[in-house]
């Protein structure tokens, strides 16, 4: 018996079985027309296998997704993402992604959101400050004064290092006589260019050292505050 004959007989047997099951249904009773998975597991598994094979075969009528996977066609998927991003940036209403206009198209819209966020933050800060002021007036005033001082140092670092350098003897006219800077100069002898002493002397005289001192001062304040914040987070988490 050939394989084709076997398949034909198997098909006829299934058709007879299917017709018998359908004819024996009670009147008015609806039910599946295929045998259940428990009655014919191979039948269902073969259908599933066929569907999987057709899915991975480029056929229009295959069940499952029609697009190739990103592993099969990465360029195709990247082009789709690029197209969607371009549509979003162009303000296409049907484009996937955020529906808000960009800051370049509606700056007022974004600035209003930022202003509201800043206002809400200030209100929250004021509420906390009022609570702290009632609980610890002296400490709250000192902390507020220190916050203002730090802000001023970041904006104009010279208010911190300028008087300190003048006190040491680094002034606009050079090293002052009888000062700590003059004593250090006499001990060091010849001062090399770009050395720490030369840097301080330049900063006191308004030269290239000003920018360096400003950067170092701002970095020191930010590093100090960052260290406090990290320590606070560790304390809050108990680690």
Residue range 72-113, pLDDT digits in tens: 777 777 777 778 777 767 766 666 655 556 677 778 877 888
Q: pTM surpassing 0.85?
A: no
Query: Do 87 and 95 form a contact (C-beta atoms < 8 A)?
Result: yes
The angle subtended at Cα 29 by Cα 24 and Cα 33, nearest 5°, is 60
pLDDT digits (tens, 9 = 90+) for 112-164: 888 888 888 888 888 888 888 888 888 888 888 888 888 898 899 999 999 99
Neighbours of 157 (CB within 10 A): 20
Q: How far apart are CA 235 and CA 239, in angstroms?
A: 6
CA nearest to 76, candidates 68, 84, 88: 68
Q: Torsions phi, psi of 174, nearest 5?
A: 105, -160
């Amino acid at each position: 018996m050939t394989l084709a004959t076997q398949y034909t007989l198997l098909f006829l047997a299934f058709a007879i079985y299917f017709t018998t099951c359908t004819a024996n249904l009670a009147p008015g009773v609806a039910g599946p027309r295929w045998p259940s998975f428990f009655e014919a597991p191979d039948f269902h598994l073969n259908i599933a296998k066929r569907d999987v094979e057709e899915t991975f075969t480029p056929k229009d009528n295959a069940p499952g997704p029609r697009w190739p996977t990103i592993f099969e066609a990465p360029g195709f998927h990247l082009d789709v993402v690029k197209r969607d991003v371009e549509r979003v940036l162009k303000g296409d209403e049907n484009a996937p992604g955020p529906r808000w206009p960009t800051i370049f198209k509606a700056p007022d819209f974004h600035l209003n959101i930022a202003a509201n966020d800043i206002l809400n933050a200030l209100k929250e800060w004021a509420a906390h400050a009022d609570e702290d002021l009632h609980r610890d007036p002296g400490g709250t005033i000192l902390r507020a004064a220190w916050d203002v001082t730090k802000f001023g140092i970041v904006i104009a670092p010279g208010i911190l290092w300028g008087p300190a350098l003048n006190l040491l003897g680094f002034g606009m006219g050079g090293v002052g006589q009888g000062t700590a800077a003059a004593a250090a100069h006499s001990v060091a002898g010849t001062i090399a260019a770009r050395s720490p002493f030369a840097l301080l002397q330049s900063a006191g005289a308004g030269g290239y050292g000003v920018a360096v001192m400003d950067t170092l001062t701002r970095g020191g304040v930010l590093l100090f505050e960052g260290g406090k914040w990290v320590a606070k987070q560790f304390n809050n988490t108990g680690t």
